[in-house]
Amino acid sequence: ERQQKLILVSLTGFGQDGPYAHFKTPDLVGNAMGGLLYISGDPKMTPCNPPETQSYYYASLFAAYGVMLALWQRESRGIGAYIDASIQASMALHEHVAFNYSAEGRVMKRAGSQHQHNAPANLFKCKNGYIALFVTQTHWPLLLKVWEDHAPELDDPKWINSNLRRANADYINTEVTSFTSRFLKEDLAELMQEHGIPGLPVNSPSDFMKDPHIRSRGFFDSVKHPVLGSFEQAGSPFMVDGQRSAPAPAPLLGQHNHEIFCGDLGLGETELEVLAADGII
């Protein structure tokens, strides 16, 4: 008999029923079948799978959203729910891939790092890397003010329109690159922020470790490993009541066997020795 207040969530590639329900779903399959892969990558090349396992993460957000709604229902009505979440369906909502076609009949195309609806909204070359800019019609006049020697034709009021700039993204991006390429990415980011223009550097791992914001929040801390020695390790990405849990080095093989088997599980010393002698642990 089902517990009436129970909340259960299933997160699978294609949901619990339908012709694909039994299919295996690695990240690549989730992105491909949901449509996100079709719009990912350079427009002149084959689709490129996004890094990491983004389809798992994105679908997990929708599953968590379903659980939140179920908790609200249980609080208000006293009943639980069964949440059946699908990676394929979740990825179809990413970047409005499904909506743009179902509502407008429009098939989105690959655009690389170029935003689908705005320009300049891309990665732009600097002296030491790249900066990410997102300039809307609100920010366009601000950018021209900072960019004092821009081409006079860019002062034409028609360029305020974000759709027009996006339609002419190749021209706009080429002009903007002639400006950004004069700067170090950190200096340009500071200049953009000072004038209220969305723009931040594309960090390498070493850039990230040196980032003053990351350092000020104590994201990295020193740990000492018995084999690897001392090094800085990333901590928890979130803080609780203003405190971040300190990182710890990875344990050695079997380091906590005694603590877990004898302490938490209540085994005796002799039983632990037998498990080790038999090669079980």
Biggest CA–CA distance in the chain, Å, is: 85
Rounded-to-5 percentages of helix, strand, coil across the chain:
45, 15, 40
What is the CATH code for 7-104?
3.40.50.10540
The token pair at 204 is 């390498």
Q: How far apart are CA 224 and CA 252, in angstroms?
A: 12
| Structure confidence by residue, pLDDT tens digits, 64-90 | 999 999 999 999 999 999 999 999 999
Q: How far apart are CA 164 and CA 156, in angstroms?
A: 12
Q: How far apart are CA 122 and CA 128, in angstroms?
A: 17
Distances in Å between the alpha carbon of 25 and those of 8, 14, 250, 265?
21, 8, 30, 36
Strands 229-234 and 199-201, bridge-based pairing: unpaired
Same fold, 7-104 and 121-202: no
Q: How far apart are CA 270 and CA 22, in angstroms?
A: 45
pTM of the model: 0.80
pLDDT at 9 over 90: yes
Report the topology of domain 121-202: formyl-coa transferase, domain 3 (3.30.1540)
HEC letters along 154-176:
HHCHHHHCHHHHHHCHHHHHHHH
The mean pLDDT value of the chain amounts to: 95
pLDDT at 95 over 90: no
Q: Are 54 and 60 in contact (CB under 8 A)?
A: no
End-to-end CA distance of the chain: 39
The residue among 2 and 52 whose pLDDT is bigger is 52
**The predicted structure's pLDDT at residue 1:** 75
Select from 202, 194, 200 the least CA-distant residue to 145.
194
| Structure confidence by residue, pLDDT tens digits, 248-278 | 888 999 999 999 999 999 999 999 999 999 9
The partner residues of 62 in beta bridges, in order of sequence, read none
Three-state secondary structure call for residue 281: coil
pLDDT at 148 over 90: yes
Q: Where do the structural domains in the chain lie, given as residue ranges?
A: 7-104, 121-202, 253-281
Tell me the mean pLDDT in the region 26-39.
Answer: 95
pLDDT at 221 over 80: yes
| Structure confidence by residue, pLDDT tens digits, 231-255 | 999 999 999 999 998 888 889 999 9
Q: How far apart are CA 76 and CA 209, in angstroms?
A: 46
